[in-house]
Amino acid sequence: MRIAVVGGGLAGACCAHELAVSGKDVTLFDMGARGPGGRASCRPAEGYCFDHGCQVLAPVDRQFQNLLSNWEARGIVTQWEGRVGTLEAAMGLFTPRHKTTADVGDGAPAGDEGDKHCESPDSSFCGSGFFGALQAAKLYVGAPGMNSICERLLAAEPNVTVETYCRVTRVDWDGEQRTWRLDGLRGQSLDHSKEGNTPYFLGTFDALVVADVMAGTPGTPGTLNIDQEYHPLEKHFSAMAGVPPGSLFSAMIALPRALEGVPFDAAVVKGSTDLQWICRDSSKPGRGRDDGHECWVVVSSADFALRMVQAMPLSIDGKYNPQTQVYLDSIAPKLLAAFQDCVASFLNNGENLQPTYLKAQRWGNAAPATSLELPHECIHDPELNFAACGDFCSPEFGAHGALRSGHAAANLI
């Protein structure tokens, strides 16, 4: 059985891996030029490297902990012993997170179901601890970057073929043969795809898994073109398009020296209108440097992202509005200034941070504000040999929900 998986983030990689383990032949298509990963990606630039998307895997229940323990034994993830806690921005007060193993030994706190989806897109951060970072007994990351999680999952099984820098643009169902035909484009930037280019045949498959909510949303880089009047996926794509996006921005900041006076490696920020997370990226395993420079990543608040997106919408007249370098260059100084304000009390004599590298990233659908209410945590249509997965299908939030949904899709397809 040949199965196509569209989207190489955590949900797609997990689904493809488990399908391959069960003996299926899997081809995964991902738009990323640097390889799979999606939001769990890593940005190399000018000798630096940043986890500018997913920051950490925080197992907040036993099932998630067992999965990550298995992955740790296989070298897919590693524990991060960073100093993590809460930063009261206005007071410059850092409080280390409370660590407990409860009654599950080396697992997650018992009874903690983890962060749910944001109740409001205006909330300063989702849940009570940034994707479970304050609740979990242990924290995990990929090494040397978060993108290595998806890469190692997909490389673990020989019957997975990965097509990167490949944008699937159309899927068609052959009811007589009960197969899916995929067409798409290779080698095009997500933000600069040229209209008028003719997609070409990518293959025929017995089943299709879509692991990207953008596939069903017009005016996004991952939109799959279907005829809304008759296409069999219309109802499923309409449901996906109805999931409200939750945008976030991140900034990648390299400094010429370590901020030794800052007493944390990562902090959930309270009391800031602009930031919800600050992380000393260089403190994660496999990311140390011998030149004295230090890499930091900050993640915006939902409120900050809302203000920026209102000024520059994700789409205009149904067409994707790319994040140009000029646009991002206007965002990065704002996030740097917010970072400066948050750590100012820990710096010497009002030191002004002078980055050697500064770039911003817009995540148009970083964290869906709500999820679809589904019985199996994925969309499944057995008549079409179709499934869709991602955290937009799960009541859990972020990486945890993506992995649960990917697992569910692999079991059902």
Cα 318 to Cα 215, 218, 323, 362, 365: the distances in Å are 14, 6, 16, 18, 16
Range of the domain at 378: 2-49+149-242+372-412
> Which of 346, 363, 380 corresponds to the end of one domain?
363
Q: What is the DSSP letter of 116?
A: B
Same domain, 13 and 33: yes
| Omega prior to 322 cis, within 30 of 0 | no
Same domain, 256 and 140: yes
Domain count along the chain: 2
pLDDT of residue 189: 56
Q: Which long-range CB contacts under 8 A does 231-238 form with residues at least 24 apart?
A: 231/173, 232/173, 232/384, 233/171, 233/173, 233/384, 233/386, 236/379, 236/381, 236/386, 236/388
Q: What is the pLDDT of residues 119-174, one digit of tens each?
A: 333 333 344 578 899 999 999 999 999 999 999 999 999 999 999 999 999 999 99
Same domain, 163 and 41: yes
Give the three-class secondary structure for 350: helix
Identify the CATH number of the domain in which residue 131 sits: 3.90.660.10
- pLDDT under 70: residue ranges of the chain: 99-128, 188-196, 228-229, 317-318
Same domain, 34 and 66: no
Same domain, 126 and 274: yes
Structural contact between residues 259 and 346, judged by C-beta atoms closer than 8 angstroms: yes
Same domain, 139 and 231: no
Q: Record the pTM.
A: 0.90
